Amino acid sequence: MIVRFVKMHGAANDFVVVDARGGGVPEPRGPWVARVCDRRRGVGADGVLLLEAHPALDFAMAYHNADGGRAEFCGNGARCAARFALDLGLGRGGEVAFATDAGPKSARRAADGRIALRFGRVEAGAPAAVVEAAGRAFEGRAFRPGVPHFVVEAASLAEVPLAAWGAALRHHPAFGPAGTNVDFVAPLGPSRVAMRTYERGVEGETPACGSGAIAVALWAAERGAASPVRVRTAGGDDLDVEFAEADGGWEVILTGPAEVAFRGEWREGPA
């Protein structure tokens, strides 16, 4: 079986993207995704995005993390899937509407070429909680912009031992069997923050995380920051998060780059 793909990245958060509206994806998907995402033996990626047919919307997005597990949502992945769909000519009026496991979303190409994802409503953050892990007490806020995130303020992101602290918090019993993504955030100025993310499913740091950018922006919003909040990712790119209060939560738009790196073919089975 030959699987044609596009390698894309959103602020260095990278994905293998496949038009699977007509099928043609190896089953079972989980082990295949893990092989494709292997950075030494495969294409290498943080996850795989599949565009599937949908009866009412332009497409449905299925997202699998690098370990092969299905995830409800990925913010940078959704923007890459939207860019891929727009390049295929899907949508109308320069906008695509699509289904995700976290509900329907829409996206458009901004004037500067970046992709603006209309995420929709995110509940207000949970009250601050203290979690003891890795021999320390971490005070943070939990948000769920499609997937769970625990946001912790750090005085210096460079000095955060992310592999140790992130892993300890990601698997902490306080977050249930599925665990959580973990974001460390440092204010940089009015409506500007920097972040580092330990990503569930990747089981390590990723250069950027779109849902994490939403989480840290809303953390800043609940401390008085005005919209939009600009988020500097670990990879050095900026993601912009617009928000407006709505029914005790926030209506959110995430804007950032979604770029094509290369196109290729994956041969599944004997050569």
Active site residues: 74, 209
User: Token pair 């959110």 is at which residue?
Assistant: 252
Does 210 appear as a known binding residue?
Answer: yes
Q: In terms of C-beta density within 10 A (0-12 exposed, 13-18 middle, 19 or more buried), how is residue 267 classed?
A: exposed
Does 203 appear as a known binding residue?
Answer: no
d(CA 66, CA 162): 19
Does 75 appear as a known binding residue?
Answer: yes
Angle among Cα 221, 222, 226 to the nearest 5 degrees reads 25
Does 140 appear as a known binding residue?
Answer: no
> What DSSP string describes 1-56?
-EEEEEEEEETTEEEEEEE-TT----SSHHHHHHHHH-TTTS---SEEEEEE--SS
Distances (CA, A) of 51 to 25, 74, 77, 238: 11, 14, 11, 26
Q: Which two tokens stand for residue 231?
A: 């988020």
Cis ω for the linkage preceding 173 (within 30 of 0)? no
Does 211 appear as a known binding residue?
Answer: yes
Inter-residue contact 33 to 63 (CB < 8 Å): no
User: Token pair 């007490």 is at which residue?
Assistant: 137
Inter-residue contact 265 to 3 (CB < 8 Å): yes
d(CA 96, CA 117): 10
Does 22 appear as a known binding residue?
Answer: no
Does 65 appear as a known binding residue?
Answer: yes
Both ends of the chain: CA-CA distance in Å? 10
Binding site for substrate, by residue number, is 13, 65, 75-76, 181, 199-200, 210-211
Binding site, by residue number, is 13, 65, 75-76, 181, 199-200, 210-211
